[in-house]
Amino acid sequence: MSVAAKPLNPRKTPLQGRSRATCDAILEAAARILESEGRQAFTTNHVAELAGVSVGSLYQYFPGKEAIVAVLVRQMRREMLDDFKEAVRQSRGEDLPGAARALVRAAVRHHLRRPALAQVLEREEADLPLDAETGQLKQRLRELVVGVVADHGVAEPDVAALDLIAMCHGMVDAAVQGGERDFAQLCARLERAVLGYLNAGDIRR
């Protein structure tokens, strides 16, 4: 009955080129299965088969399937954070609408690469014992956005950042789920939402 806290970190770091390729194949196969067949099809045997390697090889590098997901999640996170850092860099010297545009672009770009995968991994994250890491990521992302809005004199930048992130997240999520592909138009609507929210705040004081 005890859960025994299974390890999530890779078992062994690949040293040679071919083992690196094996790991990549496993990760890619896992991603493909998650994004197009769903979690019930996500079994170690199936992942290995699709990757063209044996289960034994899989277990040489990953202690279990959760560990594979953990790597994918971390990859996604790093990309997302990088996108946002770049957006913040670009937004220096811009006015508020310009800054909003840069941030919104980052939020969309993150889902642009592999929309279905991004969505699944976010759901998967909830079942993974990565709470501390997840918290850190959210915190950094929030700080980035807080910095930008604070620079433009927005009141209560902390709350505003939280809300802006959440509303953009919701809108992008819905758009992807609904199969929208016109990302330029989506960006425009996100900007409208962001600027609208910020304006409404100004009006009140």
Interface region with a copy of itself, contact rule CB under 8 A, candidates 14-22, 72-80, 105-113, 188-196 = 188-196
Nearer to a copy of itself, 65 or 74 (CB): 65
Nearer to DNA, 3 or 200 (CB): 3
Write out the two tokens for 175. 């758009």
Q: Is 155 in the site for a copy of itself (CB under 8 A)?
A: no
Q: Is 9 in the site for DNA (CB under 7 A)?
A: no
**In the complex, minimum distance from the CB of residue 61 to a copy of itself, in angstroms, rounded to a whole number:** 22
Q: Which member of 24, 123, 155, 181 binds a copy of itself (CB under 8 A)?
A: 123
The torsion angles phi and psi of 12, rounded to 5 degrees, stand at -145, 140
Contact residues for DNA (CB under 7 A)?
Answer: 6, 12, 14-19, 21-22, 40, 43-45, 52-57, 59-60, 63-65
